[in-house]
A and B are shown apart, each in its own frame.
Chain A
């Protein structure tokens, strides 16, 4: 038998198997960069649970990249059954720009469709030589602040809005004072990397800057990977509640017939097992029971949400990050 005919036979055999293969479900979870390890564990745990419950085997594929880039890929036709992105603004683009999900998507799941949260913390050099304790310290002369560019990095928008919201909530706080603080902070930024990992590199590998503004989960990971003898985390007394949101992509699951599994997958994130995995990967769990167990890892702090401080992402984006917004004006004034 020639190699060619073996190949043909194998192909025929595969085709014959195809109906059987359909009994198994494949989901695609389109996520953002730092969740790779989290979802590897979640996918395996969910597959076990789903097989026990339904007897069906499910494979979850993952895709990771910058949050905005990932949302655009889904809008342009990447067949994501679910998206798990860094900010609601990017998930909302699936509705606004892509028409793939309905307007009220954020109310379909508990807690604003954010099964786990994080917050923005300061990563400083060991011993905190510049004495950075709170957002106000970031605007002081002589402090170098490292943060990615909020125009290109979804994660960095949380940093910017955290500083702005903090200033609003100080005694005598006003929009003008907030703008002044944020302007002073960005005057202290020597490099605006395009993404969060780039900024971490700048701060950690190149030793530039006194403080890195980072998501708590990224900061905890950095300290664990790079050694607690070099860096420490400062949790400001008042900061923003970062809510990475998730959604089932209706247009895709209805076409593929995977809605049930996709919805169960997101529900699993809210289950105690899913919550424990989130906590293991340094995201703050919503579930009170799981949160109590890992209280040592997540010290208490007061937080405000985007909705409370800015009236939602759409408004925050328009006022601060769209062309001509406050961020652009900070740099236009710098000329």
Chain B
């Protein structure tokens, strides 16, 4: 707080390197994307991005990604909590397993999940008689997206839970708070900013995911066709402009979504800081 000097030398130098890096790696490709899409006339652009098939694909992509991020929000929090707070045999192994979705090639994940949840798979076989189809439905897509998103939530929450320690909870308990009250008034508000970050990362990853989903989706137009697949089908017709148009819509929608979550996060940080000060 009191340290005047920054750890990194030369503020302007590090800022310059930062902006050059971001510019080259992120902004330049995005600009190229926009330029390519601009080769479409506005009417053609609109027709491409508002086609019923495209609308169905956005709905599916955003719907399944939000559902997967929400699932990860709930269960990722639980997993992170258990991994930090509860000693149990094989904990290190479970902890290592959480990272697996990061490391596994997405196609492998997709094929494995389809094998498990397909009508003849180990799990699918028992769900089918119950009338529950997973593979080749929206449900299957959500399962795949949940799989690839889990580590984001767990890994962002773990260090925060560790750092939080048990003092605040003990203090709350000693002041007469019940378990629910402690959880609701003390634990969750502290975790909220990190939790939002994790959920956001999981959501953004899910929106762009292609490799694992195409195997389990079934890829039926209007039904289980995700937006990234629609981009691929456009490319297959050498319709570069159409593909970038869809990509641009996805990008823009994702940006709005991320901004909204970012605002929420800033608010939650301010709130928890405010509460701490008061």
Residues of A at under 8 Å CB distance from B? 68-69, 72, 93, 96-97, 149, 151-152, 154, 190-194, 198, 201, 205-208, 317, 321-323, 328, 331-332, 334-335
Q: 26 pairs across A/B with beta carbons < 8 Å?
A: A68-B236, A72-B235, A149-B233, A151-B221, A152-B232, A152-B233, A152-B236, A190-B218, A193-B214, A194-B219, A198-B214, A205-B115, A206-B115, A206-B118, A206-B120, A206-B121, A207-B120, A208-B118, A208-B120, A322-B239, A323-B51, A323-B237, A323-B242, A331-B53, A332-B53, A335-B222
In the bound complex, CA of A335 to CA of B225 (Å) = 14
In the bound complex, CA of A334 to CA of B222 (Å) = 9
**B23: A residues at CB distance < 8 A:** none
Q: Is the CB of A97 within 8 A of B119?
A: no
Q: Is the CB of B114 within 8 A of A93?
A: no
* CB < 8 Å neighbour of B214 from A69, A72, A194: A194
In the bound complex, CA of A328 to CA of B230 (Å) = 12
Q: Is the CB of B222 within 8 A of A93?
A: no
With A206-B114, A334-B222 as contacts: A323 and B239 at CB distance below 8 Å: yes
**B237: A residues at CB distance < 8 A:** 151, 317, 321-323
B11 interface residue (CB < 8 Å to A): no
B79 interface residue (CB < 8 Å to A): no
Q: Is the CB of A191 within 8 A of B120?
A: no
Which residues 230-250 in B have Cβ within 8 Å of A in the complex?
232-239, 242
In whole Å, how far is A317's beta carbon from the nearest beta carbon of chain B?
Answer: 7
In the bound complex, CA of A190 to CA of B233 (Å) = 19
In whole Å, how far is B37's beta carbon from the nearest beta carbon of chain A?
Answer: 16
Q: Is the CB of A191 within 8 A of B218?
A: yes
Q: Is the CB of A149 within 8 A of B219?
A: yes
In whole Å, how far is B114's beta carbon from the nearest beta carbon of chain A?
Answer: 7
Q: Is the CB of A332 within 8 A of B136?
A: no
In the bound complex, CA of A335 to CA of B233 (Å) = 20
In the complex formed, the residue of B with least CB distance to A76 is B240
Other than A152-B232, A206-B121, A331-B220, give 12 A-B pairs with Cβ distance below 8 A: A93-B238, A96-B238, A149-B219, A191-B219, A192-B221, A194-B219, A198-B214, A198-B215, A206-B114, A208-B118, A323-B234, A332-B53
B229 interface residue (CB < 8 Å to A): yes
B104-129 vs A, Cβ < 8 Å mask (1 yes, 0 no) = 00000001001100111100000000
In whole Å, how far is B277's beta carbon from the nearest beta carbon of chain A?
Answer: 54
In whole Å, how far is A88's beta carbon from the nearest beta carbon of chain B?
Answer: 14
With A97-B238, A190-B136 as contacts: A331 and B232 at CB distance below 8 Å: no
With A72-B235, A152-B229 as contacts: A331 and B121 at CB distance below 8 Å: no
Residues of B at under 8 Å CB distance from A? 48, 51-53, 111, 114-115, 118-121, 136, 214-215, 218-222, 229, 232-239, 242
* CB < 8 Å neighbour of A332 from B52, B214, B242: B52
In the complex formed, the residue of A with least CB distance to B220 is A192
**A323: B residues at CB distance < 8 A:** 48, 51, 234, 237, 239, 242
In whole Å, how far is A250's beta carbon from the nearest beta carbon of chain B?
Answer: 19
In the bound complex, CA of A68 to CA of B237 (Å) = 8
In the complex formed, the residue of B with least CB distance to A93 is B238
In the complex formed, the residue of B with least CB distance to A318 is B237
In the complex formed, the residue of B with least CB distance to A334 is B222
**B214: A residues at CB distance < 8 A:** 193-194, 198
Q: Is the CB of B111 within 8 A of A201?
A: yes
Q: Is the CB of B238 within 8 A of A328?
A: no
**B222: A residues at CB distance < 8 A:** 331-332, 334-335
**B238: A residues at CB distance < 8 A:** 68, 72, 93, 96-97
**A335: B residues at CB distance < 8 A:** 222
**B118: A residues at CB distance < 8 A:** 206, 208
With A206-B115, A206-B121, A208-B118 as contacts: A68 and B235 at CB distance below 8 Å: yes
In whole Å, how far is B188's beta carbon from the nearest beta carbon of chain A?
Answer: 41
In the bound complex, CA of A93 to CA of B222 (Å) = 28
In whole Å, how far is B121's beta carbon from the nearest beta carbon of chain A?
Answer: 7
In the bound complex, CA of A69 to CA of B234 (Å) = 12
Q: Is the CB of B119 within 8 A of A206?
A: yes
**A317: B residues at CB distance < 8 A:** 237
**B232: A residues at CB distance < 8 A:** 152, 194
Interface-central residue, B48, B51, B220, B235, by most chain A CB under 10 Å: B220
In the complex formed, the residue of B with least CB distance to A321 is B237
**B121: A residues at CB distance < 8 A:** 206
In the bound complex, CA of A323 to CA of B242 (Å) = 10
In the bound complex, CA of A86 to CA of B220 (Å) = 23
With A194-B214, A322-B237 as contacts: A328 and B221 at CB distance below 8 Å: yes
In the complex formed, the residue of B with least CB distance to A66 is B236
4 smallest A-B Cβ distances: which pairs? A331-B221, A151-B233, A206-B118, A191-B218
**B218: A residues at CB distance < 8 A:** 190-192
In the bound complex, CA of A208 to CA of B221 (Å) = 19
